[in-house]
Structure formats: structure tokens, C-alpha cells
Structure 1
Amino acid sequence: MPDTLEIDGLGAAYGGKPVIDGLSLAPFVPGSVTSLIGPNAAGKTTLLRALAGLHPAKGAVRLGGRDLLALPLADHARYVTYMPQSLPQRVALSVLEGVAGALRASPVEGPALSDAALMGRALEVIELVGIGHKALEGLDHLSGGQRQLASLAQALARSPRVLLLDEPISALDLYYQLRVMKLVQRLARERGMMVIMVLHDLAIAARWSDRVVVLAEGRVMADGPPAEAISAEVLAQVYKVRGRVEQDGADLRIAIDDILP
């Protein structure tokens, strides 16, 4: 059986104040895409950073038989890759150099790639996300959306077991939003990755996810297939809005009517 990702009793805090406390979730399975949704300050980004080993946490995060929280960060990063909401500012690298650097830092099975082969593979990933024409452009010269795509290329180049994406489409137009979601879903299936991403667009989360986890105040409010996790009751309880959720074939239609008093 392929390794699953298990989260049991996870806790994390900022400034001594708990953000996530005792959070447990059913195992994540290889080849799946899970969306984390919920209002601001729900704990979504904190959860991703804790899973990535970038934020102190207690509890257990297990990948197969490995306790990821007990691993040194360098070993943790062999299995888990985290894409933040934006790249650091003023990075003096081209898109190609940034992706090639991510490849160099990735665990290698078999003989190491030559420089030419490494650059060729980096360019393939850049083409996949749709910014091949920007490969030689400096990262600090890109638009916000292009920087987001460059960051995604760096994350995908590492081919992790677990890929964590924090609002990966927030700066993209509709075409690139759909392109990215299709690509992430396809690569999750092909590579057997477990993708966990933070999204704010409920319709996109419902359309492209196998599973949706709804968080509010660090607690799990709903968890399951999109049609089960996103409901009128969840919209009212979590988002404080009145809405309708209807199944239309394979799609979920979400209509928001008004805010609640």
C-alpha cells in the first residue's frame, strides 16, 4: 500500500495563542487533491506551514512510518514541499535559475543530472505552467501572477510526496487559474502526490478537489467530498452568508444570496 499522510492531534500557536489545537484528519491518499477552505484567520496557512515543518507544532504528522515533525528540516523537505502565497521580493535570479535551483536541491535517484539535462528539465516545468517565454526573465521583473507561476514551477520541479500550495491561483486570471488547477490535478494523479492547497474560491475548490476540509478558528467544521463538505449549513455557520448548494451532474453549483445579519 502506498504511504498515506496522517495528522493526529496537531497543535500550533502564534505568540502563545493557539491557532490550531488538537486537529486530527482522516488520512490523505496518494494521487489526491484536497482543498482547505474557510474564512480569514481560520488556521489554513498555519496548518500548511506546520505540515511543512516551517512552524513549531505538537502532535503527530506521519507519512507512512515516518514522524515528519521529528525529522530535521532538510530531511522533512525530502518529502514535503511548500509553496507560499508569494516569492520573496528582490530575488536576483531568472525564472530558469530558480527552477534549476529547486531541482538541484531535490533528492536524486540514480546518477546526478548533467547541467544541460538539469536545465532542460527545469525548462520543461516552466513550459508546463505556461511561462516558457519568461524563462530568462528576472524573478523581480515579473508581474504578481507570473511570480506565482514561477513559484509553482519551483514546487513542481521537486516532485514531492506531499505538495502544499498556499493560495496558488490568487493572482492569476481565469485562464491561468483553470490551467493551474488542471495541471495540479493531473500531476497529482500521474506522480501519486498528495496535494493540499488553500483556496478561497469555493466553486474552484468544489470543481477540482477530491476532498474539501472546512476550517474555522482552527477547528474542522466539515471534511469530505465537495458535495458533502460544502453545504448551505456550512455557508451559514462558517462564512455567515445565506446561500444555495445544488448538485448538477458532476458539478456543484454554489449561489450566494446575501450576508446574514
Structure 2
Amino acid sequence: MTDALAISGLTAGYGRRVVVNRLDLAPVSPGTVLSLLGPNAAGKTTLLRALAGLHPATGSVRLGERGLLSLSLADHARLVTYMPQSLPQRVALTVLEGVIGAMRASAPGGQLVPERDVADRALSVIERVGIGHLAMTELSHLSGGQRQLASLAQALVRQPRVLLLDEPISALDLYYQLRVMKLVRELAAESRMIVVMVLHDLAIAVRWSDRVVLLADGRLIADGTPQDAITAAALADVYKVAARVDITPDGVRIAIDDIL
């Protein structure tokens, strides 16, 4: 599997507190949309930040033949892009300027791109995300959901091999939740990009993910297709709830009955 993402023995934490403990995952092949599920403090965001090279970690993270943990931050960022839960609050840039800045930051050193091409590409991504009407609006004037969409545009314009999304739809209404999830699936298929995202909504994860990973206390509980990984036993272990999980021709149906 050329350029598959392979994680072995990954450990990360804060001081003496281990948050992700010797995590092993089967290789994630190009074009895969993988969702990380689990309760708060399960280690999902720490894992994403470690994969992004933004948090110290030990173990092995490889993209094809490249060991990501040994790369410089600049070289790492050309392959892997991380979208946090929210942009900084006070940024004196328009949406367009923010996307252009992200694109220039990811360009190989010394590469010159004509100004018209830069603007055209940035606007194309902004339009595809669905916020073309906000291109000239300052980031500081956007709502939380609009800022999330602007952050997604900044991530996508970098054209990474691995896209890491931390709760990318948490502040969005239903229309934009659907739009973002459809866009992520389309881009993964078109460019063979690997997408790893943190989600809290099980129904959305089931519908839009090729693969799901359930975490609890930094340990792996389940890993596989939504149909294989999301079981009543796994939900009881991870979320401490009694649930009924039915496999249907349309996918997986989940009914939460009670807490344990």
C-alpha cells in the first residue's frame, strides 16, 4: 500500500500522564476516511496532534516509506495538515487572505506561483467549501460555524496527503454538516487523500466513514468498518451505555437505551 499511514507503538501524554498508550493501528490506505470516536479525554485530540507533529510522541508513524516523527515541522506540514477545533479569535485577515497564506505556507521553499493562480485556487477552494460569499470578510467577524468552514478551506488548499480534522462539524448547522462530510468524502476519493477526523456523532461517523477507531483512556477498543467496530459491547466499554446495534441494508442503526 504505497503512502499508507502506519502507526505503531505510538505513545503521547503530558508530563508523566500518558494519554495515548502504545497505540497500534493497521495501515490506513490512501482514499480512506477514518473517524476517531470515544468519550472526552479518550486521547483523540492528543493523537491527532501527535500525528500532525504538534505534540511530542514516541513510537512510529510512517507515511509510505517516510517516518513522520523524524521530519522537520515544515516538511511534516507539507504532507500532513491539521485542522483544529477553532481558529484563533483575533485574526486581522479576510477569509481569502487566510486561505492564500495557508497555501503559500505549504509551498516548497522557493517555489513561486503567479498571483492570479494563487487567488484563483484559493477562491476555488473557498467556493467548494460553500463560503464564497464570505471571501472578503475578516475572520474576526465570522460566527463560530463560519470560522470552522474557513479553517477547513485553509486546510484543504494545502492539498495534503493526510488531512487531520478535529471535530470539523461541531459548530455547523445540519446543511453545512452534510456539505462538509460530502466534500471530505469526495476529496478523499478524488485525490487519494487519507482523512482522519474526530467525531462525536455516531450516526454521522457510521454514514460517512470507511473505517472507525474507538478509543477509551488512550487504548484501542475497536478498529474496523462501522458495521464491524460499532457493536453493543464496544459502546458499553467506551461510552458506558446500554445500546442496541442493528445492521441493516442501509448501514448501522444505533438505539441508546440507558446508562450503565
SS of 1:236's equivalent in the other structure is: helix
Give the 3-state SS of the residue equivalent to 1:189 in structure 2.
Answer: helix
CA distance in 2, matches of 1:160, 1:16: 33
User: Partners in 1 of 2:24 and 2:112 — Cα distance?
Assistant: 39
Aligned to 2:95: 95
Q: Deviations over 1:145-188 (max 9, x none)?
A: 00000000000000100000000000001111011000001100
* Superposed displacement of residue 250, structure 1: 3.3
> Quick one: which amino acid aligns to residue 84 of structure 1?
P
Matched, 1:247 2:247: yes
Provide the C-alpha distance between the structure 2 equivalents of 1:107 and 1:225, rounded to a whole number of angstroms: 35
What's the Cα RMSD here? 1.4
- Supply the distance in 1 between the matched residues of 2:6 and 2:124 (Cα, whole angstroms): 32
Mapped to 1, the partners of 2:163 and 2:96 lie a distance apart of 21
- Matched with 1:41 is 41
2:171 maps to amino acid: A
Structure 1 segment 164-179 matched on structure 2, within 5 A: 164-179=164-179
Superposed CA deviations along residues 10-41 of structure 1, whole A, max 9, x for unmatched, are 00011321111111100010001000000000
The alpha carbon displacement at 1:113 in A equals 2.4
Residue 84 of structure 1 corresponds to which residue in structure 2?
84
**Count of matched residue pairs:** 260
Matched, 1:14 2:19: no
- Aligned positions of 1:64-75 closer than 5 A: 64-75=64-75
| Partner deviation per Cα, 1:178-208 (whole Å, 9 max, x = no partner) | 1100000110010010000000000000100
3-state DSSP of counterpart to 1:105: helix
Q: Give the 3-state SS of the residue equivalent to 1:78 in structure 2.
A: helix
Deviation at 1:210, TM superposition (A): 0.2
Q: Gapped runs of 5+ residues in structure 2?
A: none
- Residue identity in the other structure for 2:10: L
Alpha-carbon distance between aligned partners in 1 of 2:21 and 2:251, rounded to the nearest angstrom: 33
* Distance apart, 1:117 and its partner CA: 1.3
Counterpart in the other structure of 1:158: 158
Deviation at 1:103, TM superposition (A): 1.0
Classify the secondary structure of the residue corresponding to 2:24: strand
| Cα separation, 1, equivalents of 2:80 and 2:167 | 17
Q: Distance in 2 between matches of 1:175 and 1:229?
A: 27
1:213 aligns with 2:213: yes
Partner of 2:112: 112
Task: Normalising by structure 1, report the TM-score.
Answer: 0.97
Q: Which amino acid aligns with 2:175?
A: Y
Q: Are 1:23 and 2:18 matched, yes or no? A: no
Alignment correspondent of 2:194: 194
Amino acid of the structure 2 residue aligned with 1:206: V
- Partners of 2:142 and 2:40 in 1: how far apart? 27
Give secondary structure in 1 for the equivalent of 2:106. Answer: coil
Give the Cα–Cα distance (whole angstroms) in 1 for the partners of residues 254 and 118 of structure 2. Answer: 44
Indicate the larger mover: 78-87 or 242-251: 242-251
Shift of 1:251: 1.8
Aligned counterparts of 1:139 and 1:226: Cα–Cα separation in 2: 36
Paired with 1:178 and 1:56, the residues of 2 have a C-alpha distance of: 34
Equivalent residue number for residue 231 of structure 2: 231
For structure 1, the 5+ residue unaligned runs are none
Q: Which amino acid aligns with 2:62?
A: R
SS of equivalent to 1:255: strand
Deviations 1:30-89 (A, max 9, x none): 001000000000000000000000000000101111111011111111110000000011
The SS at the match of 1:187 is: helix
What's the offset of the Cα at 1:108? 5.4
Q: Give the Cα–Cα distance (whole angstroms) in 1 for the partners of residues 58 and 149 of structure 2.
A: 32
- Secondary structure of 1:7 counterpart: strand
> Greater CA deviation, 26-35 or 15-24?
15-24
CA shift at 1:238, angstroms? 1.0
CA distance in 1, matches of 2:107, 2:91: 24
**Alignment-mate amino acid for residue 223 of structure 2:** D
